[in-house]
């Protein structure tokens, strides 16, 4: 192998209901990336333990994420859909990466500081170390690209740091094993086992904000259900939430610059643009100068048109979970086979007897 084969990997945690932000910022991009790419999409149930240790509905939440993948258009036959805990090689490589990563690197992770809050002494070790598991999720398949939002970009940079340190520390072992590939990182030639994974950042609405506060990201954990549109919401709920969405007293501007300082207006225009595959400028060309009493009903109709087929298919899949379970089981088998190729070579490079 003279170069790393392009492979896209990403995962979604089974914590709380999937919402519009998850769909526009992640899942819809997963679907688009299927064209021309080898893709692996994972329900990261091991990561869910860092948010909450005990889950009464973990099986249902896991199936729900998989159902959303399938309902949105991901093909589990051409690509791989599975749940993380079905592939123990993720955890095995994560331990090795725990030994590769440096405490100083982990201390720079801003998400740990945000999620742990003021009482960091009470945070779990898993929450602190989960970027190592995230790196293992990606690199156990030697994936080359990951679609991420800006809030995960720092973790991807850590995955690159871990990969680079492993490649350099085990350089001679990698070369002797015959598993490595000659790459250039900056101006430095490296005989690498793991690739320098690249982020795929973009999309029309990478950050969908709360319907109740345009300065906060739409979140599963927000106590107000009115703050988000869940993918399992029916048409009545979608209509209610959009009509009750916070706005300001002014009408819609004719130019994008007119949205500055108006986070709620900007958010609703961004959502419409993403759902319609248009730019904000194109949306304002149609609705500029009009009141929200005109714009909101149009947004309701568009949201229902886009989301209703996905919601209907998710409900159908969740009514008979045997199909979802079969997809996850087969995906897990395929993922384990790929991950074991990597792990058998990593064990050889390290010098583990097995």
**Residues 207-245 pLDDT 10s:** 799 999 999 999 888 899 999 999 999 999 999 999 999
Residue 150 assigned ligand-binding role: yes
In the chain, the DSSP E strands lie at: 8-12, 39-43, 80-83, 145-147, 181-185, 188-192, 198-200
Is 218 a domain residue?
no
- Pair 250, 266 in one domain: yes
278 is catalytic: no
Confidence of residue 51 (pLDDT cuts 50, 70, 90): confident
Q: Provide Rg for the chain, Cα atoms.
A: 22
Confidence of residue 128 (pLDDT cuts 50, 70, 90): very high
Per-residue DSSP letters for 62-75? HHHHHHHHHHHT--
Residue 13 assigned ligand-binding role: yes
* Spatial distance between the Cα atoms of 283 and 250, rounded to a whole number of angstroms: 17
Residue 149 assigned ligand-binding role: yes
Token output for 100: 């590769």
Q: Vertex 308, ends 302 and 310: CA angle to 5°?
A: 120
330 is catalytic: no
- Owner of token pair 């990182």: 185
The residue-averaged pLDDT of 279-293 equals: 95
Full residue range of the structural domain in which residue 121 is found: 5-202+320-348
Confidence of residue 123 (pLDDT cuts 50, 70, 90): confident
Is 77 a domain residue?
yes
Write down the catalytic residue from 165, 220, 246, 278.
220
- Pair 95, 15 in one domain: yes
Write down the catalytic residue from 5, 6, 78, 115.
115
Per-residue pLDDT of 132-149, as tens digits, reads: 999 999 999 999 999 987
- Pair 89, 50 in one domain: yes
Confidence of residue 1 (pLDDT cuts 50, 70, 90): low
CA atoms within 13 A on the CB side of 165: 16
- Its pTM surpasses 0.95: no
* Spatial distance between the Cα atoms of 243 and 316, rounded to a whole number of angstroms: 28
Give the residue from 351, 297, 331 showing the smallest Cα distance to 141. 331
Provide the number of structural domains found in the chain: 2
Residue 45 assigned ligand-binding role: no
pLDDT score at 152: 77
For residues 222 and 90, the model is more confident at: 90
Write down the catalytic residue from 217, 240, 246, 278.
217
- Pair 247, 327 in one domain: no
- Pair 229, 120 in one domain: no
Residue 22 assigned ligand-binding role: yes
115 is catalytic: yes
Per-residue pLDDT of 331-347, as tens digits, reads: 999 999 999 999 999 99
């Amino acid at each position: 192998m003279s170069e790393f084969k392009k492979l896209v990997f990403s995962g979604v945690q089974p914590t709380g209901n999937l919402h519009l932000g998850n769909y526009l910022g992640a899942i819809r991009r997963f679907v688009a990336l299927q064209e021309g790419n080898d893709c692996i999409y994972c329900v990261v149930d091991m990561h869910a333990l860092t948010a909450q240790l005990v889950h009464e509905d973990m099986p249902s939440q896991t199936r729900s994420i998989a159902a959303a993948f399938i309902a949105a258009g991901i093909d589990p036959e051409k690509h791989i859909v599975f749940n993380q805990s079905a592939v123990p090689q993720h955890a095995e490589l994560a331990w090795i990466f725990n030994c590769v990563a440096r405490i100083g690197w982990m201390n720079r992770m801003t998400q740990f500081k945000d999620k742990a809050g003021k009482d960091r002494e009470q945070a779990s070790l898993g929450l602190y170390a989960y970027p190592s598991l995230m790196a293992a999720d990606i690199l156990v398949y030697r994936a080359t690209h990951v679609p991420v939002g800006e809030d995960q970009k720092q973790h991807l940079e850590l995955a690159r740091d871990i990969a680079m340190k492993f490649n350099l520390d085990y350089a001679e072992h990698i070369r002797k094993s015959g598993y490595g590939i000659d790459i250039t990182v900056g101006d430095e030639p490296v005989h690498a086992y793991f690739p320098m994974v690249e982020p795929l950042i973009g999309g029309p609405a990478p950050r969908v904000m709360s319907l109740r506060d345009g300065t906060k990201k739409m979140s599963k954990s927000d106590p107000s259900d009115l703050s988000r549109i869940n993918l399992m919401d029916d048409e009545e709920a979608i209509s209610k939430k959009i009509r009750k969405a916070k706005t300001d007293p002014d009408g819609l501007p004719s130019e994008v610059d007119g949205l500055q300082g108006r986070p709620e207006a900007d958010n609703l225009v961004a959502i419409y643009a993403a759902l319609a595959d248009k730019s904000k400028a194109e949306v304002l060309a149609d609705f500029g100068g009009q009141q929200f009493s005109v714009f909101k009903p149009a947004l309701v109709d568009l949201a229902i048109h886009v989301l209703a087929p996905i919601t209907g298919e998710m409900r159908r899949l969740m009514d008979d979970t045997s199909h979802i379970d079969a997809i996850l089981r087969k995906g897990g088998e395929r993922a384990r086979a790929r991950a074991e190729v990597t792990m058998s070579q990593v064990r050889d490079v390290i010098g583990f007897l097995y």
